[in-house]
Amino acid sequence: MNGQDDDRPPTRELSEEECWRLIEAAPYGRIAAAAGGEVDIFPVNHKVDVGPDGHAIVFRTAPGTKLLELTIHANVAFEVDGHDEGAAYSVVAKGRARQLERDSEIERVAGLGVTPWAPEPKDRWVRVDVTEVGGRSFQRRQPE
């Protein structure tokens, strides 16, 4: 089948509300950070934090490459994607990451229930203050 025979509706842009709903529902996402001329992507378990400054993405991590890269270059992208029987989607949020250090901030986000899957201790908290979010969705081709 070529593109001319495809009778599915065109890919559509997701609203900001739809994007946040999909980010909240995703069990994990990926954080992309650049440092030293390299770009790395790390899977993270996350939660959405809605505060007075808007929406943010919060995750836990351990000291190491991910935290170092976020410290060196705070501009990041966060992505979730998924599909069901009928449709597929991808959502990207962009913003600035920062390690949370104040006890009051950590106590508040700890109540969000971020539970890392990896067995290593993840005692550092990172917040991505989102400045831009967008996504796309399309109908999946059905098997013939």
CATH of the domain at 125: 2.30.110.10
CB burial of residue 98 (10 Å; 0-12, 13-18, 19+) = middle
List per-block mean pLDDT (blocks of 10 residues) for the chain, which spans 144 residues. Answer: 69 95 95 84 94 89 80 90 91 95 90 89 93 94 75
Q: What pLDDT does 129 receive?
A: 94
Domain total in the chain: 1
Model pLDDT, residue 34: 84
Q: Which domain holds residue 28?
A: 13-136
Tell me how far CA of residue 66 lies from CA of 60, 62, 144, in angstroms: 11, 8, 44
In a domain, 83, yes or no: yes
Q: Is residue 5 part of a domain?
A: no
Quote the CA–CA distance of 31 and 19 in Å, as a whole number.
16
Residue 91's pLDDT is: 98
SS3 1: coil
Domain assignment of residue 2, yes or no? no
3-state secondary structure of 121: coil
How far apart (Å, rounded) are the C-alpha atoms in residues 10 and 139? 8
Q: What is the pLDDT of residue 48?
A: 97
